[in-house]
Amino acid sequence: MHIVVTGGAGFIGANFVRRTVATRPDVRITVLDALTYAANEASLDEVRERIDFVKGSIADPAVVDEVVAGADAVVNFAADTHNDNSLSDPWPFVDTNIRGTAVLLDAVRRHDVRLHHISTDEVFGDLPLDAPERFTEDTPYRPSSPYSASKASSDHLVRAWVRSFDVRATISNCSNNYGPYQHVEKFIPRQITNILSGERPKLYGAGANVRDWIHVDDHNDAVWTILDRGEIGETYLIGADGERSNREVLRTLLEVMGRPADDFDVVPDRAGHDLRYAIDSSRLRRELGWQPTHADLDAGLRDTVEWYRRNRAWWEPGKAGVEAAYARRETAR
């Protein structure tokens, strides 16, 4: 089987490639990645001899057509994803997430290649705090940031190409991922690397916002489950029942790293900050038989801390630039 993994040098994509190499030796992998700031080719160093790597954007029709031709399936992880960046400059999100998805859809249609499109629970907007509701496959879309709006648009494009052109595609909307190789601009690795750098972690507002955390390996195992057994044209939600407030996650990290529970700074909240995400993944579990294996979030966070502790050379070169960007945004508020 030959699969194309777009965005395969990013956080989730690189973990997908590494896990596929480790568990599916009969699969040939081509990675297509534009190597924007959020990607890191070094995440693939240990598997480079097992993959083909193409530098290019999913918004480039010529590159995409050449890579997709002859593939059996495409898994589309390629996306601009950082909410704060989308508030500062929405246009890269429009180009990659919307136009890029349309370019990819045209290519898989032309070559009759199976597509699995990776999306986010953020397309559904947010839920009230301390409420029983969770997102399901039937939840209406209500995106609240340029990032989530661009991902909602890409999902709609996939569904339109399935219905109008019989493209063989599936979609998954996943909750917040954590684990190794995640860019230090994201919440969990930013807190960890601040502590490792001798800096105080930063918490938006009261830290009451709730996220539904899932280990990246569980997410990627679910993607393979959908590729193997999912029904064409369908959408599946991926979640591991990992709801925690940002404050609770930060305090867990501080405890794991031997710091006082109040050893952090509060900074102004970002605009339109969603209150709560929560995924109901019962359809995926019931119909396709998937189950998460990293159900203990505390254990997963401890392992993640240790990975960043052991891999300073991977994250340190970009750390100062990330903190400078955050400082500029906080000053602008």
Distances (CA, A) of 57 to 178, 262, 274, 276: 25, 43, 29, 32
Tell me which of 33, 80, 147, 218 is the catalytic residue. 147
Please list, in sequence order, all residues whose beta carbon lies within 8 angstroms of the beta carbon of residue 49, skipping any fewer than 6 positions away: none
Tell me which of 33, 80, 122, 274 is the catalytic residue. 122
- Class of residue 46 by CB neighbours under 10 A (exposed 0-12, middle 13-18, buried 19+): exposed
Give CA–CA dist 203/237, Å, rounded: 28
Q: Is 122 a catalytic residue?
A: yes
Q: Is 178 a catalytic residue?
A: no
Q: State both tokens at 263.
A: 């050893």
Distances (CA, A) of 143 to 47, 82, 98, 329: 36, 14, 14, 22
Q: Where are the beta strands (DSSP E) in 175-327?
A: 176-178, 202-204, 210-215, 235-238, 243-245, 265-267
Q: Where are the alpha helices (DSSP H) in 26-145?
A: 61-68, 83-88, 91-93, 100-111
* 73-76 and 51-55 strand pairing: unpaired
Could you tell me if 136 and 190 are in contact, meaning their C-beta atoms sit under 8 angstroms apart? no
Could you tell me if 52 and 25 are in contact, meaning their C-beta atoms sit under 8 angstroms apart? no
**Helix, strand, or coil here: 63?**
helix
Q: Is 248 a catalytic residue?
A: no
* 210-215 and 176-178 strand pairing: parallel
Tell me which of 33, 80, 121, 185 is the catalytic residue. 121
Nearest alpha-carbon partner for 82 in 127, 36, 139: 36
Instruction: List, by residue number, the catalytic residues.
Output: 121-122, 147
